[in-house]
């Protein structure tokens, strides 16, 4: 199943490899040690401290959970009051690919139309004012928080100005802003990005730093800049099945990712290899479905191109277009090799006409 095993290339997603070698090395080194469970070990404590420092929020609460859907459901379920729902882009991960996890917690995902996978401060304001001004609002779900992804499900980025505007709306209406950073390392490493961890900590009420897709075996670190925002979150995490007994396994991973700024650098390889692939695509005249600056590339393939390419390279299906063509996704990661990129670019050249 490795790229070289059967001659096939794999560019399906950014969670196909294991973990960054530095993580495995530390798991190995610490393996025989005995530590208390549930995140009360010294490695998790150290990871928390380093994350607080990286975010310039010395008071922040940090919780490490196992996966993205789990994290979204735990955070959103904990932030919303019974009469509230969460505003999100129609293409937001919680709206589409989490199997109804938010609804399972009893809350509506209130979708807004997206542009390039993003929603705007204006749309959010309009939704909040729409609810507030509706004579039937007490019969309706109140928009009680905002969910964004950075980068988005389409690999695009919110600019600092966009986030500041959204944050300002949320604060004016006194509802929390939550950012899903499943692929955050790829935003942080992107030259077009102008939003730092410190900005996120300043502008959000809760956000999570993705590990699973960014070099860890698993793990997402939830940051709550102002402590006390979610009382008894530990127990809520336990109740939602999201508490790891051997918490240190997650702690060690984030401790490593936040040692020597590894997390800030780990995405660079994905961005660079994606850029090389995008150049090859452009040269080959492949239409892009969306202009995305990070590690996800969305291309439009004719049936022939799709057949030709997917015989030799595994890609993600995205969407069938009415004209018979297909949108496919190419994803690079922190672990993508130059060898695989070269092979893919050669293939793209070959299939271009």
Enumerate residues 14-33 that contact a copy of itself by CB under 8 A: 15-19, 21, 24, 27-28, 30-33
Stretch that binds a copy of itself, among 10-18, 114-122, 259-267, 343-351 (CB under 8 A): 10-18
Question: Nearer Cβ to a copy of itself, position 203 or 330?
Answer: 330
Q: From the CB of 78, what's the least distance to a copy of itself, in Å?
A: 6
Q: From the CB of 65, what's the least distance to a copy of itself, in Å?
A: 8
Pick the closest to residue 232 from 32, 49, 77 (CA basis).
77
Residue 112 touches a copy of itself, criterion: CB under 8 A: no
Measured between alpha carbons, how far is residue 207 from residues 23, 62, 64, 204, 297 in Å?
A: 23, 10, 12, 7, 24
Residue 103 touches a copy of itself, criterion: CB under 8 A: yes
Count CB atoms within 10 A of the CB of residue 187: 28
Query: Which residues inside 187-246 make contact with a copy of itself, applying CB under 8 A?
Result: 212-213, 217-218, 231-232, 234-236, 238-246
Angle at 257 between CA 96 and CA 335, to 5 degrees: 70
Residue 10 touches a copy of itself, criterion: CB under 8 A: yes
Q: From the CB of 92, what's the least distance to a copy of itself, in Å?
A: 13
Backbone angles phi, psi at 80, to 5 degrees: -80, 145
Report how far Cα 340 is from the mean position of its chain's Cα atoms. 24
Compute the distance between CA of residue 329 and CA of residue 139 in angstroms, rounded to an integer: 41
- Candidate list 58, 135, 285, 324; residue touching a copy of itself; CB under 8 A: 135
Residue 294 · residue 155 · CB < 8 Å: yes
Q: From the CB of 196, what's the least distance to a copy of itself, in Å?
A: 26
Query: Which residues inside 331-350 make contact with a copy of itself, applying CB under 8 A?
Result: 335
Query: Which residues inside 139-158 make contact with a copy of itself, applying CB under 8 A?
Result: 139-142
Query: Which residues inside 27-66 make contact with a copy of itself, applying CB under 8 A?
Result: 27-28, 30-38, 41-42, 66
Count CB atoms within 10 A of the CB of residue 45: 15
Q: From the CB of 271, what's the least distance to a copy of itself, in Å?
A: 19
Residue 344 · residue 291 · CB < 8 Å: no
- Candidate list 7, 58, 82, 285; residue touching a copy of itself; CB under 8 A: 82
Stretch that binds a copy of itself, among 97-105, 151-159, 199-207, 286-294 (CB under 8 A): 97-105
Token pair 């670190």 is at which residue?
Answer: 221
Helix, strand, or coil (residue 316)? strand
Q: How many residues bind a copy of itself (CB under 8 A)?
A: 83
Helix, strand, or coil (residue 267)? coil
Query: What is the spatial order of strands in the sheet that 296-301 belongs to?
Result: 296-301, 326-331, 316-320
Residues 6+ apart with CB under 8 A from 196: 188
Binding mask 284-323 for a copy of itself (x = CB under 8 A): ------------------------------x--x--x---
């Amino acid at each position: 199943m490795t790229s070289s095993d059967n001659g096939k290339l794999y560019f399906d997603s950014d969670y196909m490899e294991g973990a960054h070698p530095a993580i495995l090395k530390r798991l190995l080194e610490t393996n025989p040690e005995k530590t208390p469970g549930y995140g009360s070990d010294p490695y998790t404590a150290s990871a928390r401290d380093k994350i607080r420092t990286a975010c310039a929020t010395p008071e922040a609460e940090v919780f490490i959970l196992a996966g993205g859907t789990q994290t979204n459901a735990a955070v959103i379920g904990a932030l919303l009051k019974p009469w509230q729902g969460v505003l999100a882009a129609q293409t937001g991960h919680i709206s589409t690919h989490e199997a109804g996890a938010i609804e399972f917690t009893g809350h509506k995902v209130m979708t807004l139309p997206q542009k390039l996978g993003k929603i705007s401060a204006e749309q959010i304001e309009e939704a909040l004012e729409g609810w507030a001004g509706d004579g039937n609002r007490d019969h309706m779900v109140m928009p009680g928080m905002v969910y964004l992804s950075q980068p988005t499900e389409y690999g695009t980025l919110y600019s600092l100005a966009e986030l500041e505007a959204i944050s300002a709306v949320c604060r004016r209406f006194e509802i929390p802003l939550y950012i899903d950073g499943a692929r955050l390392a790829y935003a942080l490493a992107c030259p077009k990005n102008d939003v730092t961890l410190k900005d996120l900590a300043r502008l959000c009420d809760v956000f999570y730093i993705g590990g699973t897709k960014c070099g860890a075996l698993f793990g997402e670190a939830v940051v709550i800049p102002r402590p006390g925002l979610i009382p008894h979150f530990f127990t809520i995490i336990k109740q939602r099945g999201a508490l790891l007994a051997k918490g240190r396994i997650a702690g060690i991973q984030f401790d490593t990712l936040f040692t020597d700024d590894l997390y800030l650098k780990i995405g660079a390889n994905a961005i660079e290899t994606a850029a090389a692939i995008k150049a090859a695509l452009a040269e080959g005249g492949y239409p892009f479905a969306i202009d995305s600056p990070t590690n996800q590339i969305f291309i439009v393939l004719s049936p022939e191109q799709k057949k030709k390419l997917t015989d030799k390279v595994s890609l993600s299906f995205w969407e069938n277009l009415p004209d018979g063509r297909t949108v496919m996704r190419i994803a690079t990661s922190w672990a993508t090799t130059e060898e695989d990129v070269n092979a893919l670019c050669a293939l793209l050249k070959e299939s271009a006409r």
